[in-house]
Structure 1
Amino acid sequence: MTPHPRLSIGLPVYNGEEYLAESLDALLGQTYEDFELVITDNASTDGTQDICRRYAARDSRIRYIRLPRNIGAAPNHNYVFTQCRGELFKWASHDDLYARDLLRRCVEALDERPEVVLAHSGQAVIDGDGKVKVPYEYGLATDS
């Protein structure tokens, strides 16, 4: 990992054991690779710590920070943001999946239009079997 990656991904988590590994696989399998993944574990009581340590040992882009006590959800989100070093920032969640080109497409969109300050993708709610339950319809034109 470079000391100053282009993109930082902040992933605050508490008891995310059920879907965390799948989410990390999706992030680490991105076609865009100039990023750091900062995980702040809010004193989880399940297997989150073991999963995070295992992934951090395998991939130098991951910085895992385990908090000694639970500080609450909003403070954990604030904290992970303060630990990021990249020029660009993206939120991630322990139970989200990501298309392989998501990061590349977002960074390219921002590079092509310097006046733009946010890049976002489409999304959908899926169940535990991977079936789309709720496609999300944006009210704004997002393909510009």
Structure 2
Amino acid sequence: MPNSASFFPHAPLSEAPSVSIIALCHNHAPFLREALDSILAQTYPHLEVWLVDDASTDGSPDILREYAARHPTWHLLLLPENVGNCRAFNTALLQSEGELVIDFATDDVLLPARVAQQVAQFQAADTVVGMVYSNCELIDEAGHSLGLHHRPNGPSQLRPAPASGWVFAEVLRRYFISTPTMMMRRACLQSLGGYDDTLAYEDFDFWVRASRDWQFLYLDEVTTRKRKHPRSMSAKAYQRHDPYLASTIRVCTKALALARTPAERAALAVRLRWELRQAVRRHRYAEARALSQLLGQTTRLTLLDRALAAWSKLLE
């Protein structure tokens, strides 16, 4: 169990904690009304809503203005230039006040009991819990179901298997958290200084840095509908010239510095090998060489590791 967690202020939540929903929009006009209506449908009453538009060009700002006018307690931030998800989120986070925070992409949908269920989970949990996540339903552009993120895999088992508690090694080793389902404790975010806004995406970095000193809890409920479409952030990963792989390398570098035990370094090696193979398969040879160098600092390279590194250097 980490020892440094005691250095952070783990105060209990109030009896009815406020929840900041930071709704981030960038060219989500086809999905935006459904997303915002799902905020209005929440059964939990203590909400602070921030509508943040990251310089959309598709008419999204007009829809956001309409909803902000109809709901005067909602806050509206129309950013004049595209700054990316991490910086857009931090802009609202610094001005918001909720004890708990949801990073809500407005191409997704919140189910009505989402906030109430996760607040109840936090209230029943130890103050060292920094994030609660759950299951979600995957949907396509038209809203048709594509199945669940955590799928049944035999009696009382799910795939990917969720993990709770001190999960630092698990978040290094594998992908199992559905990002849109996360509810975060403000104290946890503050202890990290918010998202790292120099990165192209937020979730892996948050998982690595937060799980070092905070516990994560899985709520076995479907709370969210996550939309998969060609313009989503996750669909852009590993494409030619995308910035996501470079961010992953930076997060893995942070993870190596945070790893304290051989088991944690072994878990990171699993991640690095997977990323290395993805980089080679996508012809991202410079990134593959950087991943190979990191892997060499984590564990002894196998013959296949060395072959991939040599191949990447030859073709770069």
What is the TM-score of this pair, normalised by structure 1?
0.87
Q: Distance in 2 between matches of 1:45 and 1:32?
A: 33
96-105 or 57-66, larger mean C-alpha shift: 57-66
Structure 1 window deviating more from structure 2 (99-108 vs 127-136): it is 127-136
Match of 1:42 among 34, 54, 60: 54
Higher relative contact order (CA 8 A, sep 6+): 1
- 2:162: which partner in 1? 140
- Shifted more, 134-143 versus 42-51: the winner is 134-143
- One of 119, 126, 130 as aligned partner of 1:107: 119
In 1, Cα distance between equivalents of 2:43 and 2:73: 14
CA contact (8 A) 1:40 1:64 kept: yes
Is 1:26 equivalent to 2:11 in the alignment? no
SS of equivalent to 2:72: coil
Q: Is the contact made by 2:23 and 2:51 (CA closer than 8 Å) also made in structure 1? A: yes
Aligned residues of 1:35 and 1:61 also touching (Cα < 8 A): no
Q: Tell me the secondary structure at the aligned position of residue 50 of structure 2.
A: strand
SS of residue matched to 1:79: helix
Contact 1:102–1:121 (8 Å) recurs in 2: no
Return the match for 1:125 from 138, 151, 163.
138
Larger helix fraction of residues = 2
Q: Structure 1 61/121 Cα, relative in aligned 2: closer, same or farther at 3 Å?
A: farther
* Identity between Structure 1 and Structure 2 (%): 31
CA distance in 1, matches of 2:32, 2:99: 25
Q: Which runs of 5+ in 2 are unaligned?
A: 1-16, 151-159, 164-217, 221-316
- Give the Cα–Cα distance (whole angstroms) in 1 for the partners of residues 53 and 219 of structure 2: 35
CA shift, 1:30, in A, is 0.3
Q: Which of 22-31 and 40-49 deviates more? A: 40-49
The alignment's TM-score, normalised by the length of structure 2, stands at 0.42
> What's the RMSD between the two structures over aligned residues?
1.8
Distance 1:143 1:73 in 2: 25
Contact kept in structure 2, 1:11 and 1:39, CA below 8 Å: yes
Contact 1:11 1:80 in 2 (8 A): no
Q: 1:136 to 1:90 in 2, by over 3 A?
A: same
Displaced runs of 4+ in structure 1, greater than 6 A?
Answer: none
Distance verdict in 2 for CA 1:82–1:143, change over 3 Å: closer
The separation in 2 between residues aligned to 1:83 and 1:21, in whole angstroms, is 24
